Amino acid sequence: MAQTVIAPVQLNKNTTSADLPIASGAAIVAGDDHVIAYPEEGKLIIAINNTTAGAKNLTVKAGNFLAAGQGDLVTAMAQDDVRYLVLGSDRFKNTEGNIVIQVEAGTTGFIMALYLP
């Protein structure tokens, strides 16, 4: 399966970020795995926007570590929903150090990843 790599935006403490509208994130490519590198330090927040005319599901794939047995996380999103995910590395990080998000066929929208200090 093809991959779309999402480049996270690093946020800094005690400063104001640049203007970060969800549409400035990476465009969803239906049929691709959307891959985000999990940070070695700090936290990761993922924002997802479904712009499809209708509801779609997205799936965060279980990784390879301690809590992976809890399985994938499937989230139903209505048209124009924006959802924010804070994901634990013990459940979702794979052996390459990434989070993998899959979307239903025909899904359009944006994914943005933010690294917190």
Domain membership of residue 34 as a residue range: 3-116
8 has a pLDDT exceeding 80: yes
Give the number of other Cβ atoms within 10 Å of residue 85's Cβ: 18
Q: Over pLDDT 70: what percentage of the chain?
A: 100
pLDDT (tens digit per residue) in 49-85? 999 999 999 999 999 999 999 999 999 999 999 999 9
pLDDT for position 18: 83
Structurally, how many domains does the chain consist of?
1
Q: Assign 17 a pLDDT band (cuts: 50, 70, 90).
A: confident
If you average pLDDT over every residue of the chain, what do you get?
Answer: 95
E strands, 1-117, where? 3-5, 9-10, 26-27, 33-37, 43-50, 56-60, 73-77, 82-86, 98-103, 109-116
**Radius of gyration for the chain, computed over Cα atoms and rounded to the nearest angstrom:** 14
CATH code of the domain containing 42: 2.60.120
